[in-house]
Amino acid sequence: MLLGRIETVRQRLLAGPALPAGAEAKVFAALSALGAFLVHPAPEPLPATLGMLDSDIEALKARHQITEAAAQAAFERVLSTIEDLEAMEAATPASVRDLAADKG
């Protein structure tokens, strides 16, 4: 879904006769953010904690929360770059978008 959104806007922007300034950079930024998100470690489920020291359980929970927050931040960066790209495409004059659609 995320890659599809990037690809749709990329085709519309890059196929047009007048490429908006910064379009290529925004496409690459979105793809880079998506790549970083895809290789980001996902939070693993907490293991069984029966018999573990409370301090060890708290350390596990803290690491889990940090990993989860980092994964969420990576996902939000992807959405932000895609929204920037879509905003650029929306700001492109309709005549340019129509010509790009005719080529595609």
- What was the pLDDT predicted at 94? 63
- Range of the structural domain that residue 49 is part of: 2-103
Whether pLDDT at 97 is above 60: no
**How many independent structural domains does the chain possess?**
1
Q: What does the pLDDT look like over 69-89, one tens digit per residue?
A: 999 999 999 999 999 989 988
| pLDDT at residue 80 in the model | 96
28-65 pLDDT per residue, tens: 999 999 999 999 888 888 888 899 999 999 999 999 99
d(CA 81, CA 84): 5
pTM over 0.85: no
Q: How many CB atoms lie within 10 A of CB 77?
A: 17
Tokens coding 18? 């007048």
